[in-house]
Chains A and B, each alone.
Chain A
Amino acid sequence: AQSVSQHNHHVILSEAASLELGCNYSYGGTVNLFWYVQYPGQHLQLLLKYFSGDPLVKGIKGFEAEFIKSKFSFNLRKPSVQWSDTAEYFCAVNDYGGSQGNLIFGKGTKLSVKP
């Protein structure tokens, strides 16, 4: 069965620090990859996605992620975090051509940014 691992449960950073959140998945076939974010008191929303093409994808609010197929990884990065980036971040995978509505989520990483 597919699985998604997010190795950091809680990350605490100061403003302007760089961010990298790890995500690894277990699936040998073609995958679609996603990062979702849940700001405090708000619903989950899409941050960025990878379907095909350039393995470096850019999302909203200055976030980017790099798909490294050989490492089964899809790490999220941001060069300089802001207090408003405090949220929970979820990596997710959907097997290409598989079930239409099934995303497998990692358990999430809480990011706390100190002002």
Chain B
Amino acid sequence: KAGVTQTPRYLIKTRGQQVTLSCSPISGHRSVSWYQQTPGQGLQFLFEYFSETQRNKGNFPGRFSGRQFSNSRSEMNVSTLELGDSALYLCASSPLGVSNTGELFFGEGSRLTVL
């Protein structure tokens, strides 16, 4: 069974640009969550999608957005990049959500560097 796949794995952007990251969940999983991981702040929740609807959102500015497609694949977009957006962006999937099953399955992440 394939795991959570994130693309691209590494990318470098400059300030002011935008970026789109992609996540393919485990087959059959309908919930996709995104987290930002930095050395200073640790893992911080961005948002969660379930059946194409955003079900929950963390405390990030509106420059961070996402969506989910009918096949449960998800994308997140960051517009007007800032230096502080440099981070590892993790996608996690679960069948119905962490409160239901108790486990998130994480991808290896997309490492974004903003210059």
Contacts and interface: CB of A to CB of B under 8 A. Distances in A.
Question: Do A and B truly interact?
Answer: yes
Interface string B75-115: 00000000000000010101011111011101111000000
Interface residues of B, number: 32
Contacts of A42: 108
Contacts of B62: none
B27 to A, nearest CB: 17
A51 interface: yes
Contacts of A32: 98-99, 102
B33 interface: yes
B98 A103 contact: yes
A99 B55 contact: yes
A27 interface: no
Contact of A102 (B33, B106, B107): B33
A102 B56 contact: yes
A83 B44 CA distance: 29
Interface string A29-43: 000101000000011
Interface residues on A, range: 20 to 34
Contact of A90 (B3, B43, B55, B102): B43
A98 interface: yes
Most buried by B among A34, A97, A99, A108: A99
Contacts of A51: 102
A37 to B, nearest CB: 11
B68 to A, nearest CB: 11
23 contacts: A32-B98, A32-B99, A32-B102, A43-B90, A44-B90, A45-B106, A90-B42, A90-B43, A98-B99, A99-B55, A100-B31, A100-B50, A100-B98, A101-B33, A101-B48, A101-B55, A101-B98, A102-B58, A102-B98, A105-B43, A106-B42, A107-B41, A108-B42
Interface of B: 3-4, 31-33, 35, 41-45, 48-50, 55-56, 58, 90, 92, 94, 96-100, 102-104, 106-109
